[in-house]
Structure 1
Amino acid sequence: MIPRDAAHTLVRLAKGFPVIAITGPRQAGKTTLARNIFKDKPYISLENPDERDFALTDPKRFLARFPQGAILDEVQRCPQLLSWLQGLVDERQRMGDFVLTGSAQFSLIESITQTLAGRVARVELLPLSASELGQVNKLPETLTQTLFQGGYPTLYDRPVSPQDWFSNYVATYVERDVRQLIAVRDLGQFQTFVKMCAARTGQLLNLTALGADCGISAVTAKQWLTVLETSYIVTLLRPHFRNYGKRLVKTPKLYFLDSGLATWLMGIRDVQTLETHAARGALFETWVVSELYKQRLNAGLAPDLYFWRDNSGQEIDVLCETAQGLQAIEIKSGSTYASDWAQNLKKWQTLASSEFPNSTIMYGGESNFERDGIKVWGWRDVTQASPPS
């Protein structure tokens, strides 16, 4: 197992909460992490029909089998169990008693909110980060290979190609699990929708245009996109609310949470094609944003990531909330620094004045340096660009 940065957060939270919930996309490593950190607890998968039937028909006796707590995997398959779990942990008053995992964030979090409020701490686990891969020398040698491969653990644990794995992942999980949540009848239409979302990663979200391209209404497009978001396939980066005297764009930007999945959905089947593909810049931006998300979620923090754009087109790719104030990050996929990369950051510094502590450029090169008071970080050091506060 590749050590996960979220392990420290899990151990810390288990000292102060009776229930720990680990949520995230399928195949991100939730079960492996839970079983590795909580080795002394029995493991029960509610995907197992016998276990699920027992939990549904006799939840009290089901839980009574675990006097020292347990890991309950895919607990969203049996949400009724959480009400019985509430009474049990209240009675025991023991921290780190039960560990829950689940892939369908929407149904799981809805149940947790209703029944375990104040008793549960949540860790959201995304696929492997560059930091985690770098610690075990498994980060791909080139940026393009990194974008192409993404971060799902299986691609680093087994001799399987990204194109084979993503093909089965999309068919098995995205099309099956996500479709079930919204009862999509037309598989072809939903496949087109997911691919159209991938083609728009890193762009402002236009639900009307997205729906029209897929033959669905904007209302349906919004519903489907919400399910992709709550299933950890995509995220929406919200515009920052401060206008600094400018009229702001209020539309969010769409990002996939794994560059490899987005690459496969775009129809890019080899590294050579990606090297010169028109979407390479958007995929690099997608990768950086997802890395910033992972960094904060692994530390148990809210992402607190935004972008800023006015109606004249001036834009800052990412704004991070830090203890020192807002940090602005520009993302450039080029491997050689260009002096005009800092223009938007300098304009932003003028607008934001003292509220702006530092500026950073993330680029596709290897070196780290400073230009005109702006730190420039190579792609391998993405986690150094904006350490969580």
Structure 2
Amino acid sequence: MLADYFETFVQRDLRQLAQIRDLALFERFVRLCAGRVGQLLNLNNLAADTGVSQPTARAWLTLLEANYIVFQLQPRHANLRKRLIRSPKLYFHDVGLASFLLGISQQSQLTTHPLRGPLFENLAISEAMKWHFNRGRRPQLSFYRDSGGLEVDLLIERPAHSLAIEIKSGATVSSDMLSTLHRLAALDPSATEIRMLVHGGSLNATREGVWLVSLSDFPAALAHGEPPAGAR
């Protein structure tokens, strides 16, 4: 099914829409985008790896964004002492399509796949984006990363409160997974009024002031602005 979608919409329709002459290069570009999910976007490197010019890579990326294939998550901009990273991160709207482009056809392949973590992160962030869009809200999503290596995967700004969210694919939660949230809270309390760890297990709990939320219960936590049942 995903193969048919990629062939008809991405390869044929988008190619005709943008009058792309070299289908092989365009397909290579899309697959390289899939290999960069959750990474800082370096358009020059992406263009070089594809074998096209930087303006062509930018035009193709814009085409994929306009047709809801990929999206860029922008970094948080705040007047902080630390130097913030300015590059956005790249994600797919459909994680299934990204997985297909990476050659993943069975769930068992994800167990040892090097992009297991980024794909899980992509899934959680795309779910947060869809949750807001489905309710007619413009999502105020970003991420935090500074030159010192401190990074938090997802920040959500709302009128009532802000959420800082770490995303881990592992089923077991350890205390070190919470450390970046605590460090950002000390640096920028306004961005971390609610701290949350979305993980690949089933545990819903509160630990050290952080909500531990399973991916399946993530939408419920977003909906109510409070921990799901079991996390209070």
Same fold, judged at TM 0.5 (above): yes
Q: How many correspondences in the alignment?
A: 225
Structure 1 CA distance for aligned equivalents of residues 196 and 169 of structure 2: 14
**Paired residue secondary structure (1:302):** coil
Unaligned ranges ≥5, structure 2: 226-232
Q: RMSD in angstroms over aligned alpha carbons?
A: 1.3
User: Who is 1:362 aligned against?
Assistant: 198
| SS in structure 2 at match of 1:246 | coil
Partner of residue 38, structure 2:
202
Residues 303-318 of structure 1 aligned to structure 2 (within 5 Å) = 303-318=139-154
CA distance in 1, matches of 2:7, 2:125: 26
Aligned residue among 37, 45, 58 for 1:222: 58
Q: Which residue of 2 aligns with 1:260?
A: 96
Specify the SS of the correspondent of 1:203: coil
TM-score, normalised with respect to structure 2: 0.93
Q: Is 1:339 aligned to 2:171, yes or no?
A: no
Does the 8 A contact of 1:202 with 1:254 survive in 2? yes
* Counterpart amino acid of residue 374 in structure 1: V
Deviation at 1:339, TM superposition (A): 0.6
The match for 2:124 among 274, 285, 288 is: 288
Question: Relative to structure 1, is the Cα distance of residues 219 and 350 closer, same or farther in structure 2, using a 3 angstrom cutoff?
Answer: same
> Aligned partner of 2:48: which letter?
A
Tell me, yes or no, if structure 1 residue 190 matches structure 2 residue 41: no
Query: Any conservation in 1 of the 2:31–2:102 contact (CA below 8 Å)?
Result: yes
- Residues 1:222 and 1:349: Cα distance change in structure 2 (over 3 Å): same
Equivalent in the alignment of 1:138: none
1:376-387 matches, cutoff 5 A: 376-387=212-223
In structure 1, the residue matched to 2:228 is none
Contact 1:362 1:379 in 2 (8 A): yes
Q: Is the 8 A contact 2:163 2:191 kept in 1?
A: no
> In the alignment, residue 54 of structure 2 is paired with which amino acid?
A
User: Equivalent pairs: percent with the same residue?
Assistant: 44
Contact 2:74-2:142 within 8 A present in 1 as well: yes
Shift of residue 276 of structure 1?
1.6
| Preserved contact between residue 211 and residue 218 of structure 1 (Cα < 8 Å) | yes
Matches within 5 A, 1:135-284: 165-284=1-120
Query: Equivalent residue for 1:319?
Result: 155
Aligned partners of 1:295 and 1:388 also within 8 Å:
no
C-alpha separation in 1, matches of 2:71 and 2:224: 19
Shift in Å, 1:357: 1.4
| 8 Å Cα contact 1:296/1:388 also seen in 2 | no
The structure-2 alpha-carbon separation of the partners of 1:355 and 1:170, relative to structure 1 and needing over 3 Å to count, comes to closer
Structure index of larger Rg: 1
Mapped to 2, the partners of 1:218 and 1:387 lie a distance apart of 40
